[in-house]
Amino acid sequence: MKEQCTEERFLTDVGGHQIEIIRDDGLYRHLHFYEPECPWNKYFDIVTWPGYLAYVGDMGDYAFSRIQDMFCFFRRDDRNGMDINPSYWAEKLRAGCREGYEKFDPDTFREVIKEERRGLIRYIYRNGESTQEERREFWVDVDRYVLAYAEDGEHEALRVANEFECEISGRKYRFEDIWERNFRQYTFHYLWACYAIVWGIEQYDRATELPAIAEKETA
């Protein structure tokens, strides 16, 4: 199972990060986040201009567009905390790094195929036209001719799954509509960037709120 980017993992990665506000002019902002002891380790920048927000850094580059002030689009309230919405946000992507925001996941492919196999074997059993040996052979053939290709890339894995067919008692069985199933997962870097945007805006809000608080206390 490949490592997933969680909120806990992200917060660990940025535990020593600081914010540098390079520009703060209305909707034109440039924020830089880095670890002082190792400035190039998981650094990132958040840049906004009217209608756009760009995330650039060690974990890739992504540009989003939805509303004039994209900080308002990504900003979470206290109740949501670090809650992210990678699916909806992906719809607002205008550009991304070469890796993209999602990719074929062999583990998801295996899970779906095994689920399909269980459903098909139950159907074959209820049909009452198969022997235990035939069902066992079908089970093994899925391992040998489909699941064995999980690591060979999306095109090859989907091809063998779509072409797989077995014949039991003169009747042919196959995985139906396999091309319609989703075998993709969000990339680690994309999820990390989503957390970084939410966290970065929170750090910016805290940093820019401090002068206002100080003025109130001295008034």
- pLDDT tens-digit series, residues 126-136: 877 778 888 88
Are 130 and 200 part of one and the same domain?
no
Q: How many domains does the chain have?
A: 2
Confidence check: pLDDT of 218 > 80: no
pLDDT in tens, 67-93: 999 999 999 876 556 789 999 999 999
In a domain, 1, yes or no: no
119 and 178 inside one domain: yes
96 shares a domain with 200:
yes
Token couple for 51:
């209608």
pLDDT tens sequence across 146-197: 999 999 888 999 999 999 988 887 788 888 878 778 888 889 999 999 999 9
Q: Would 2 be classed as within a structural domain?
A: no
Position 112 in a domain:
yes
Close Cβ partners of 128 (under 8 Å, ≥ 6 residues apart): none
Q: How confident is the model at residue 46 (pLDDT cuts 50, 70, 90)?
A: very high
Secondary structure, 3-state, the chain:
CCCCCCHHHHHHHCCCCEEEEEEEECCEEEEEEEECCECCCCCEEEEEECCEEEEEECCEEEEEECCCCHHHHHCCCCCCCCCCCHHHHHCCEEEECCCCCEEECHHHHHHHHHHHHHHHHHHHHHHCCCCHHHHHHHHHHHHHHCHHHHHHCHHHHHHHHHHCEEEECCEEEECCCHHHCCCEEECHHHHHHHHHHHHHHHHHHHHHHHHHHHHHHHC
Quote the pLDDT of residue 80. 54
- State which residues form the domain around 40: 7-101+187-218
Model pTM score: 0.76
List own/partner pairs for 157-160 with CB under 8 A and 24 or more apart.
157/104, 157/106, 157/109, 157/183, 158/183
User: Is the pLDDT assigned to residue 97 strictly greater than 80?
Assistant: no
Q: Do 39 and 89 reside in the same domain of the chain?
A: yes
